[in-house]
C-alpha cells in the first residue's frame, strides 16, 4: 500500500512540475486562469450520488476546455489546484496526510497522460495556438480523439483510486470500481461533450462565452441535483421499508427465542458470528450476506411446531421426541417460503442441520451441495450452543468448544468453514454482544418512585419464566416421581433448577435427625468436590440457621456458610440464597445456591427456589427413608444426556463403554440385581466415571482415560461369578466416537450370539 501510494505521488508530482515549466517556457496567456476559477467554483457545487461515496459536479467541462484550448500543462495545473483546494478542505475533517498527497498527485497524473495522448492522436496543437485566420477546428475532427481522451482520463483516474481503496481495505479492485465509479463516467462524457461544442463555437473566453456556458451549466446542475434528490428520497423510503422489514423479522425471531427459554439470546450471537464468518470467507454478494443475516435470526422459526416440554426438557430426549425436534428445520423453511424474500433465506434455514458427510437432516445433503450459508450457520450455531448453559450441562469453555468443532471437521461440518471460524473466533468472540432495547426485551419501562427506586420491571425473562416455570416444575416433579437416593435426587433437582435460578454452584443438604445436622448429599458446579461430605450443625452457619428457623435468606455472604472452604473456591462466591426443604413441620433439608456476584439473587429468584423446595420436598423425604447408605461413600449416579446433544457427540480416544444386561434377553434387571452389578464393579471405577441405567434391562458404565484391555479384564473379573449377566465392552474410536455409536456397537456385540450362556461376553472391537 505504501509503495503504491509513494509511486503515484512521485509520478504525479513530476507531472505538475513539468507542467509548471511548460507554462513558463511556452506562455499561453492568462485566460486559462479564468477556467481555473470556474473549475474551483463549479467543483464546490457538487451533487452526492445516491448509495455511493462519491459526488458529481460540472467542473470537468472546464478541465476539458482548458486542455483543448491551452494544452496538457494548463489542464494539469488546473486539476492539481482543484484537488489541492478540495484536499485542504477535507483535511479539516481529519483526512490522513498521505491521502491528501495521493489525491493532489493522482488527478494531475491522469489528466497529463490522457491529454498528451489526445494531442498525439488528434495531430493538432492547442487551439489558442491556431492562427486567427484559420477556420475553427470542426467538431467531427475532434470526436474520435476526444472520445479516446475521455475514456483514458476516466479510466486512469478511477482505476488509480480503486486500486488504492482495494489495497487499503483488501477488497477486489474490480468490485470497487464497478460499484463506485461506473456511473461517474457520465460526468466525464458530459463534460467532454459540452467542452467540444464550446471550443468549436469560439476560442475566446469573453463575455459571450460566459453568457452561453454559465446558464447552461446552472441548468444542468439544478436538473441533475433535483433528479438525484428524488432518487435519494426514494432510496431513503426504501431504506425505511427495509428497516421496518428487518425489525419485523427480528421481533418475530425474538418471540421464537423467548419460547425456547434455554437458548434465549442465541439468535443474536449466531447472527454476529455468521455475518462476520461469511465476510471472512470472501462472501461479497450483498444478497447472500443479507440472506445469512436474516436466516441467522430465523433459523429456529420451526420451533413454533415443537412442544415446549421438548424444547425445555432438562433430560434426554426420547427417539420420538428427537424426531419431533428435527422437524423444526423443514417446518421453519415451509413457514418462511410464503414470504417473498429478496435473497435466498429459505434454503439456509432448511439445511442448517445437514452434515458434511450426508448424515444430517432433513434431506441428507452432503459436501458442497449444502448451501454455503447453511454450512456457515451450522458451525456458528453449534459453537454458540456449546458455549451456552443448557439444562443437561453447563456451558463449555471456548477452548473445549473449539476442540469439538475440530473433531467434527470433515464429518459434520465443512472443513474450510471450521478452519476459518477458528481463525476468526478470537476477534469476534472476545467482545460482548451489544444489548439493545426491544419491545420484547422491555415490555414496560420500570416504574420509578419519587425516591428513585425501581418498583418493578417486566422483561423478556419474565415472559419466558411465566411460560417455562410451570413446565420446569412439572418436569421436575415427574423426574422425581420414582424413589431415588438423595444424591440422585440432588442431581435431578439441580438439572432443573439451573434454568430457573442462575447460580455458580449449589448444595443440597439433607437433615439427619439422629445427629441433628445437615450433610451435603449433592453438590453441583465446578466446586462440587470441595463441598462433598460437608456437614453443618443445625442452628450454625447460614444453612444451619435456615434449617433451624425454617426461613429463606438471600444475598448473605457465603463465607458465613462455607467458612474456610469459600477461600479455596475461585472466583470467590459473593452471595448466597438458601431455603429450607420441609414436609409439613418436618425438616428434610436445605437447598443453598451461591453466586460469584454480590447481591445477585432477586426476590424473583427467592420465590422460584421456594417453589422448587416445596415441589421436591416429598421426593427427597422418600429418598431419605429408602436410603440405607452412608452419604460419604455413596457413588453418584447420573442420567445419560441425550446422545444427539452436542456435549456428548464426540468423545476422547480411549473412552470405554461397558454395557451389562441379563443373559436372558429382554428381561429387566431388578433394582437388587442392578445394585449387585454396581457393587461388583465399584472398586474398578473412578469418581468421574458415569454409571447409569439404560432402560430397564441394561446398566452402562462410561469411563474415560483407562487402558482398554485392563478395563475389560477388570470388568470381566468382577462379573465372572455373576452367571445371570453378560457384558460387552467397546471404546473410542473402534466402536464409534459418540455415546450413541458406542451404545449401538455394544448392542450389536450382545446380539451377535444371543444363545451364549457359558461365559461373560467381552470385546473391544
- Assess contact for 538 and 530: CB atoms under 8 A: no
Helices 486-500 and 460-479 pack at an angle, to 10 degrees, of: 160
Record the cell numbers describing residue 91, joined without a space. Answer: 483535511
In this prediction, residues 737-760 reach a mean pLDDT of: 70
> Helix (H, G, I), strand (E, B), or coil: what is residue 637?
coil
Confidence of residue 532 (pLDDT cuts 50, 70, 90): confident
Residue reference for cell 461479497:
284
Chain-centroid distance, C-alpha 763: 43
Range scoring the smallest mean pLDDT among 325-334, 527-536, 538-547, 628-637: 628-637
Fold held by 651-752: Alpha-Beta Plaits (3.30.70)
> Helix (H, G, I), strand (E, B), or coil: what is residue 640?
coil
Fold held by 260-429: Hypothetical protein af1432 (1.10.3210)
DSSP string, 492-523: HHHHHHHHHS--SEEEEEEEETTTTEEEEEEE
User: Is the confidence at residue 579, as pLDDT, over 90?
Assistant: yes
Q: Quote the DSSP letter at residue 540.
A: S
Instruction: Give the integer Cα–Cα distance in Å for 676 and 632.
Output: 19
Burial letters 350-383, b for 16+ CB under 10 A, else e: bbbbbbbeeebbbeebeeeebbbbbbbbbbbbbb
CATH assignment of 480-633, among 1.20.140.10, 3.30.930.10, 3.10.105.10, 3.30.450.40: 3.30.450.40
Which has the closest alpha carbon to 558: 568, 452, 228? 568
- Assess contact for 470 and 496: CB atoms under 8 A: no
- Of 32-36, 252-256, 442-446, 593-597, the range with the highest mean pLDDT is 593-597
Instruction: Report the pLDDT value the prediction gives residue 636, as an integer from 0 to 100.
Output: 36
Instruction: Give the integer Cα–Cα distance in Å for 67 and 149.
Output: 10
Is CATH 1.10.275.10 correct for 2-207?
no
Which has the closest alpha carbon to 193: 142, 120, 137, 129? 142
Instruction: Report the pLDDT value the prediction gives residue 632, as an integer from 0 to 100.
Output: 36
Record the cell numbers describing residue 141, joined without a space. Answer: 475532427
User: Is the confidence at residue 57, as pLDDT, over 70?
Assistant: no
Instruction: Give the integer Cα–Cα distance in Å for 237 and 665.
Output: 71
User: Is the confidence at residue 525, as pLDDT, over 70?
Assistant: yes
Q: What is the mean pLDDT of the chain?
A: 75
In this prediction, residues 323-348 reach a mean pLDDT of: 86
User: Is the confidence at residue 94, as pLDDT, over 50?
Assistant: yes
Record the cell numbers describing residue 403, joined without a space. Answer: 476442540
- Assess contact for 697 and 667: CB atoms under 8 A: yes
- Of 79-93, 484-498, 583-597, 750-764, the range with the highest mean pLDDT is 583-597
Q: Quote the DSSP letter at residue 92.
A: T
Instruction: Report the pLDDT value the prediction gives residue 200, as an integer from 0 to 100.
Output: 65
State the Cα angle at 25 between 42 and 30, rounded to 5°. 35
User: Is the confidence at residue 494, as pLDDT, over 50?
Assistant: yes
- Assess contact for 383 and 408: CB atoms under 8 A: no
- Of 211-215, 420-424, 470-474, the range with the highest mean pLDDT is 420-424
Range scoring the smallest mean pLDDT among 12-26, 180-194, 502-516: 180-194
Which has the closest alpha carbon to 399: 426, 377, 367, 428? 426
CB-side neighbour CA atoms (13 Å) of 290: 12
- Assess contact for 398 and 387: CB atoms under 8 A: yes
Chain-centroid distance, C-alpha 572: 30
Instruction: Give the integer Cα–Cα distance in Å for 40 and 59.
Output: 7
- Of 352-356, 484-488, 511-515, the range with the highest mean pLDDT is 352-356
Q: Quote the DSSP letter at residue 48.
A: E
Instruction: Report the pLDDT value the prediction gives residue 592, as an integer from 0 to 100.
Output: 93
Instruction: Give the integer Cα–Cα distance in Å for 69 and 36.
Output: 13
Instruction: Give the integer Cα–Cα distance in Å for 140 and 128.
Output: 19
Instruction: Report the pLDDT value the prediction gives residue 408, as an integer from 0 to 100.
Output: 93
Instruction: Report the pLDDT value the prediction gives residue 426, as an integer from 0 to 100.
Output: 80
Q: Is 763 left (phi over 0), alpha (psi -120 to 50) or beta?
A: beta
In this prediction, residues 65-72 reach a mean pLDDT of: 80
Please name the helix (run of DSSP H) or strand (run of DSSP E) that holds residue 703, with its range, or none: strand 698-703
Phi/psi for 692 (5° steps) reads -145, 155
Instruction: Report the pLDDT value the prediction gives residue 255, as an integer from 0 to 100.
Output: 66
Record the cell numbers describing residue 402, joined without a space. Answer: 473449539
- Of 106-120, 441-455, 577-591, the range with the highest mean pLDDT is 577-591
Beta bridge partners of 47: 56
Query: pLDDT tens-digit profile of 586-602?
Result: 899 999 999 988 889 99
> How crowded is residue 743: how many other Cβ atoms within 10 Å of its Cβ?
21
In this prediction, residues 267-290 reach a mean pLDDT of: 87
Instruction: Give the integer Cα–Cα distance in Å for 62 and 44.
Output: 13
- Please list the alpha-helical segments (H only) found in 686-738: 708-719
**What's the residue count for the chain?**
765
Instruction: Give the integer Cα–Cα distance in Å for 676 and 660.
Output: 12
Domain segments of the chain as ranges: 2-207, 260-429, 480-633, 651-752
Instruction: Give the integer Cα–Cα distance in Å for 741 and 745.
Output: 6
> Helix (H, G, I), strand (E, B), or coil: what is residue 454?
strand
Amino acid at each position: 500500500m505504501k509503495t503504491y501510494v509513494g509511486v503515484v505521488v512521485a509520478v504525479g508530482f513530476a507531472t505538475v512540475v513539468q507542467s509548471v515549466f511548460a507554462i513558463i517556457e511556452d506562455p499561453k496567456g492568462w485566460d486559462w486562469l479564468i477556467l481555473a476559477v470556474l473549475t474551483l467554483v463549479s467543483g464546490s457545487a457538487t451533487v452526492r450520488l445516491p448509495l455511493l461515496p462519491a459526488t458529481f459536479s460540472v467542473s470537468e467541462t472546464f478541465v476539458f476546455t482548458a486542455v483543448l484550448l491551452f494544452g496538457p500543462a494548463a489542464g494539469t495545473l488546473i486539476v492539481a489546484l482543484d484537488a489541492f483546494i478540495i484536499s485542504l478542505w477535507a483535511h479539516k475533517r481529519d483526512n490522513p496526510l498521505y491521502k491528501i498527497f495521493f489525491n493532489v498527485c493522482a488527478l494531475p497524473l491522469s489528466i497529463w497522460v490522457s491529454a498528451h495522448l489526445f494531442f498525439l492522436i488528434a495531430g493538432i496543437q492547442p487551439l489558442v495556438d491556431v492562427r486567427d485566420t484559420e477556420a475553427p477546428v470542426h467538431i467531427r475532427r475532434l470526436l474520435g480523439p476526444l472520445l479516446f481522451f475521455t475514456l483514458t482520463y476516466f479510466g486512469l483516474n478511477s482505476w488509480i483510486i480503486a486500486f488504492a481503496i482495494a489495497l487499503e481495505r483488501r477488497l477486489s479492485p474490480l468490485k470497487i470500481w464497478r460499484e463506485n465509479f461506473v456511473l461517474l463516467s457520465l460526468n466525464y462524457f458530459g463534460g467532454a461533450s459540452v467542452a467540444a461544442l464550446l471550443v468549436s463555437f469560439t476560442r475566446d473566453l469573453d463575455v459571450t462565452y460566459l453568457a452561453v456556458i454559465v446558464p447552461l451549466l446552472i441548468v444542468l446542475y439544478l436538473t441533475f441535483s433535483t433528479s438525484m434528490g428524488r432518487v435519494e428520497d426514494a432510496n431513503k423510503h426504501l431504506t425505511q421499508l427495509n428497516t421496518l422489514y428487518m425489525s419485523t423479522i427480528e421481533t418475530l425471531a425474538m418471540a421464537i427465542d423467548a419460547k425456547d427459554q434455554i437458548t434465549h439470546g442465541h439468535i443474536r450471537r449466531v447472527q454476529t458470528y455468521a455475518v462476520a464468518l461469511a465476510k471472512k470467507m470472501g462472501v461479497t454478494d450483498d444478497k447472500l450476506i443479507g440472506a445469512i443475516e436474516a436466516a441467522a435470526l430465523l433459523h429456529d422459526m420451526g420451533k413454533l411446531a415443537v412442544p415446549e416440554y421438548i424444547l425445555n426438557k432438562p433430560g434426554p430426549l426420547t427417539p420420538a421426541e428427537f424426531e419431533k425436534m428435527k422437524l423444526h428445520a423443514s417446518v421453519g423453511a415451509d413457514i418462511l417460503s410464503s414470504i417473498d424474500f429478496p435473497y435466498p433465506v429459505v434454503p439456509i434455514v432448511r439445511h442448517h442441520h445437514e452434515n458434511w458427510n450426508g448424515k444430517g437432516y432433513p434431506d441428507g445433503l452432503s459436501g458442497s451441495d449444502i448451501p454455503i450459508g447453511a454450512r456457515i450457520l451450522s458451525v456458528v450455531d453449534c459453537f454458540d450452543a456449546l458455549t451456552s448453559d443448557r439444562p443437561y450441562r453447563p456451558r463449555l469453555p471456548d477452548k473445549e468448544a473449539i476442540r469439538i468443532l475440530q473433531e467434527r471437521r470433515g464429518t459434520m461440518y465443512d472443513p474450510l468453514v471450521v478452519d476459518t471460524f477458528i481463525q476468526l473466533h478470537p476477534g469476534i468472540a472476545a467482545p460482548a454482544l451489544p444489548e439493545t432495547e426491544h419491545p420484547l426485551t422491555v415490555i414496560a419501562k420500570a416504574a420509578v418512585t419519587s425516591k428513585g427506586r425501581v418498583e418493578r420491571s417486566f422483561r423478556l425473562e419474565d415472559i419466558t419464566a411465566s411460560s417455562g416455570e410451570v413446565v420446569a416444575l412439572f418436569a421436575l416433579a415427574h423426574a422425581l416421581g420414582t424413589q431415588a437416593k438423595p444424591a440422585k435426587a440432588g442431581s435431578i433437582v439441580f438439572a432443573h433448577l439451573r434454568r430457573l435460578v442462575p447460580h455458580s454452584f449449589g448444595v443440597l443438604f439433607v437433615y439427619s435427625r439422629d445427629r441433628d445436622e445437615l450433610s451435603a448429599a449433592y453438590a453441583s458446579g465446578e466446586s462440587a468436590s470441595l463441598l462433598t461430605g460437608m456437614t453443618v450443625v443445625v442452628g450454625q452457619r447460614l444453612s444451619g440457621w435456615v434449617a433451624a428457623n425454617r426461613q429463606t435468606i438471600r444475598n448473605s455472604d457465603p463465607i458465613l456458610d462455607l467458612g474456610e472452604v469459600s477461600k479455596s473456591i475461585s472466583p470467590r462466591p459473593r452471595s448466597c440464597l438458601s431455603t429450607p426443604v420441609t414436609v409439613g413441620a418436618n425438616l428434610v433439608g436445605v437447598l443453598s445456591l451461591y453466586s460469584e456476584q454480590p447481591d445477585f439473587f432477586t426476590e424473583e429468584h427467592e420465590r422460584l427456589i421456594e417453589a422448587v423446595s416445596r415441589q421436591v420436598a416429598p421426593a427427597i423425604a422418600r429418598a431419605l427413608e429408602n436410603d440405607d447408605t452412608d452419604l460419604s461413600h455413596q457413588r453418584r449416579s447420573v442420567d445419560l444426556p441425550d446422545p444427539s446433544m452436542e456435549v456428548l457427540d464426540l468423545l476422547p480416544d480411549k473412552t470405554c463403554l461397558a454395557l451389562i444386561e441379563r443373559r436372558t434377553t429382554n428381561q429387566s434387571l431388578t433394582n437388587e440385581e442392578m445394585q449387585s452389578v454396581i457393587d461388583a464393579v465399584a472398586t474398578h471405577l473412578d469418581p468421574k466415571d458415569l454409571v447409569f441405567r439404560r432402560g430397564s434391562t441394561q446398566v452402562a458404565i462410561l469411563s474415560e482415560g483407562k487402558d482398554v484391555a485392563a478395563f475389560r479384564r477388570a470388568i470381566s473379573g468382577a462379573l465372572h461369578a455373576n452367571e445371570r449377566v453378560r457384558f460387552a465392552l467397546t471404546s473410542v474410536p473402534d466402536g464409534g466416537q459418540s455415546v450413541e455409536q458406542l451404545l449401538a456397537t455394544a448392542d450389536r456385540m450382545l446380539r451377535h450370539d444371543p444363545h451364549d450362556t457359558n461365559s461373560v461376553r467381552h470385546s473391544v472391537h
